[in-house]
Amino acid sequence: MDNKETQPLSGENDFKYIVQDMSSIYLGARYTYGELIENEDVPHKLKEVIFCIFLKEVAEDTTPENHVFYLDKDSASYRAYKKMKARFRMSVWYPAGKGRKKAGYINREYALEDVVGNRELAQKMNTIVVEEVKISKLGLGTILV
């Protein structure tokens, strides 16, 4: 059997994972909401939130990576992410200058409030890589669906 047929393309599954610890759920930001609903590793309550809240506002093939930049502070998705205490791990491109010797990506975790409505991040949207969504299990438990 040819190796090229069995191995996924390099980078195809980057940022597609689901990991849980005692207090949080970590989702790779390249999963679509449809894929998350189908995945058996996703907690049932999170599937309900995706199905009953997120998919009422966006298409099934939307990723959290794309969704976060188009959230409106009045939307149900924003309120759900806020209740779940969502945080987004992003790599943001910064050019050389302003105290930086050379251009490069800076990896950092942002709270939902830091991303939504942030003009600087919105302008850099095409150069930002959203890697992960961190959701609080306690926050997820407070959502009524």
Residue ranges and CATH numbers for the domains of the chain are: 16-141 (3.30.465.10)
At 84 the pLDDT is 97
**How distant, in Å, are the alpha carbons of 17, 44, 127 from that of 73?**
27, 26, 23
Tell me: the pLDDT tens digits for 110-141?
999 999 988 888 888 888 999 999 999 999 99
**How distant, in Å, are the alpha carbons of 7, 102, 123 from that of 120?**
38, 19, 5
How far is the C-alpha of 136 from the C-alpha of 140, rounded, in Å? 6
At 1 the pLDDT is 45
Tell me: the pLDDT tens digits for 60-77?
999 998 999 899 999 999
Q: Are 92 and 121 in contact (CB under 8 A)?
A: yes
Tell me: the pLDDT tens digits for 92-117?
888 888 777 888 898 999 999 999 98
